[in-house]
Amino acid sequence: MQKDLKDNKEIMPEDHLPINGVLKNGFSYYLKPTCKTDQIELNLIVKAGSNQEKENQFAMAHFMEHMVLKAGKHINLKMRYESDIFREAKINPKSFTAKTELSYTSFKVTIPNNPKALSAIFLFYSDILYDLEFKQEYINSERSPFIDEHDRKGSGTSTAYLDDIVERKLKGSSSIPEDFNEYIWNIDREPLIDFYNEWYLPENTSLIITGNIGDISQLETKIKHRFSRDSENNITSKTDEIKNFYASSPFLLY
């Protein structure tokens, strides 16, 4: 039985029914005001995970999660401990979390309720969709941390990772690397960019905001201002394919 976004408690905390909207470019948002906290939680959901990887894109969804956190043109997580932007906005450097699952990737942050913090995170999210710099040096610098996380956190035994391996084996896939570390050290830039161009699109992305929101109308205006751009990715729209995929998934993310 399918579940709507508002029924998925892992993604959408239970409280009031969400206020939702869709911009002309397909970018969707869900707002849930609550008086239970004086903070605001934001979660950018890209509806693409390891299930969307092609044969030559093994682990690209997770690696992309790492890349977008450091490759933003204006704001990135490298700035957390040293940037005046984060200090003045009073954003806790440890408040960021990101994860990749089979069918989605999420970028979550909890911030204090102040305009500077909201503007900084909106710019951070906007960079993820519109202004990433896929420099080879960024890709190279992420290989070792990615392998370390895989070893340290047991990514090789996580549910999502094992489910992906099982699915690929059932399909007779030949893309599962025998040596994971060697594979990551030799990931090419092109399939990574292809994965990004195909899935990191406004129409394939939802923004969820919960907490002490305040003026809903003003927040919606800010969302429209920041996220109304059309994607510059040179690719045919994936709207129908995206909707068909999620229509057959355990829960919907739009």
pLDDT at 8: 47
How far is the C-alpha of 42 from the C-alpha of 44, rounded, in Å? Answer: 7
Q: What percent of the chain has pLDDT over 70?
A: 74
CB crowding 168-192: b at 16 or more within 10 Å, else e: beeeeeeeeeeebeeebeebeeebb
pLDDT at 224: 96
- Report which of 23, 3, 25, 24 is spatially closest to residue 14, judged by C-alpha positions: 3
Q: What are phi and psi of 154, to 5 degrees?
A: 70, 35
Largest CA distance in the chain: 53
pLDDT at 93: 84
pTM over 0.85: no
β-strand partners of 28: 22, 206
Number of H helices and E strands in the chain, helices first, is 9, 6
pLDDT at 168: 54
pLDDT under 70: residue ranges of the chain: 1-17, 153-175, 231-254
β-strand partners of 205: 46
Strands in 105-112's sheet, in edge-to-edge order, are 19-22, 28-33, 205-211, 39-46, 105-112, 96-100
β-strand partners of 97: 108
pLDDT in tens, 127-141: 999 999 989 999 999
The total of other beta-carbon atoms located within 10 Å of residue 48's CB is 27
Q: What are phi and psi of 32, to 5 degrees?
A: -130, 95
Q: How far is CA 248 from the centre of its chain?
A: 21
pLDDT at 249: 39
pLDDT in tens, 178-218: 788 898 999 889 999 999 999 999 999 999 999 988 889 99
Expressed in percent and rounded to 5, the helix, strand and coil fractions of the chain are 45, 15, 40
pLDDT at 77: 76
- Alpha-helix residue ranges (DSSP H) falling in the chain: 60-70, 84-89, 115-130, 136-152, 159-170, 180-185, 189-199, 216-227, 239-247
Query: Does residue 252 contact residue 2 with C-beta atoms inside 8 Å?
Result: yes
